[in-house]
A and B are shown apart, each in its own frame.
Chain A
Amino acid sequence: DTGVSQDPRHKITKRGQNVTFRCDPISEHNRLYWYRQTLGQGPEFLTYFQNEAQLEKSRLLSDRFSAERPKGSFSTLEIQRTEQGDSAMYLCASSTNTGESSGYTFGSGTRLTVV
């Protein structure tokens, strides 16, 4: 296990379609985060999990977005009825439960293009 894996790397979808992304964190990491990044901006926090529990959701996460982490391992992020404004890079990160933490490990992201 060498890092955080995200699949797919790229996704092109038509407006109105549903898409699902997958994130496999580092196996011993119990925290998992989802971020969204648009061109020229820093990553924006969407949600995070502690094991299988979703502990916080950003107001950016509209009701068309849903994230799950069954069994506290991999996570999925689903976007229903995609809109052009959903086009962005979706980043996943994981970390451990340490106090100050040595930091998050990010995946390479899934780039979504809604046409």
Chain B
Amino acid sequence: DAKTTQPTSMDCAEGRAANLPCNHSTISGNEYVYWYRQIHSQGPQYIIHGLKNNETNEMASLIITEDRKSSTLILPHATLRDTAVYYCIVSRGGYNKLIFGAGTRLAVHP
């Protein structure tokens, strides 16, 4: 599975959009981009995933560049409860296990 690169940490003001970038320049054509987050002392939580097209659900939006070498997770109106570590993972899905990196620590402040 391809590796990903994420900033170590980011800050965001409450109510503003949080845009979390991820580079995955070695992604293969059959690999998906998954995003998970982990709030302190809890297990990781699935957020969203995509292959080529942009995706949106009740939690977030995922924007994948046309060449698929990078993506951005968007939390449209960040709240204090969105403070967490966000992991960007590239995987073929299905039978293939998820390999986590260090993620981005997002701090949402009042």
With contacts A42-B102, A42-B103, A100-B49 known, is A106 near B44, CB below 8 A? yes
Interface mask (A74-115 → B, CB under 8 Å = 1, otherwise 0): 000000000000000001010001111111111111000000
Q: B87 contacts A102, CB within 8 Å? A: no
A14 to chain B, nearest CB (A): 24
Is there a chain B Cβ closer than 8 Å to A33's Cβ? Answer: yes
Q: A103 contacts B46, CB within 8 Å? A: yes
Is there a chain A Cβ closer than 8 Å to B28's Cβ? Answer: no
B59 to chain A, nearest CB (A): 12
Q: B32 contacts A48, CB within 8 Å? A: no
A58 to chain B, nearest CB (A): 9
Main secondary structure of the interface of A (DSSP, over half): loop
A10 to chain B, nearest CB (A): 10
With contacts A42-B87, A48-B97, A56-B97 known, is A100 near B43, CB below 8 A? no
Q: Which of chain B's residues has its CB closest to A42's CB?
A: B100
Q: Which of chain B's residues has its CB closest to A3's CB?
A: B43
Q: B93 contacts A105, CB within 8 Å? A: no
Q: Which of A4, A56, A104 has the most CB of B within 10 A?
A: A104
Residue from A98, A99, A106 in contact with B43 in the complex, judged by beta carbons closer than 8 Å: A106
* B positions within 8 Å CB-CB of A: 32, 34, 36, 41-46, 49, 51, 85, 87, 93-94, 97-103
Taking A41-B102, A101-B94 as known contacts, 10 extra A-B pairs with beta carbons closer than 8 A to each other, sorted by chain A number, are: A4-B43, A42-B100, A45-B99, A93-B43, A93-B44, A99-B93, A99-B94, A100-B51, A104-B46, A108-B41
The 8 closest A-B pairs by CB, nearest first: A106-B43, A103-B46, A42-B100, A100-B93, A43-B100, A101-B93, A106-B44, A99-B94
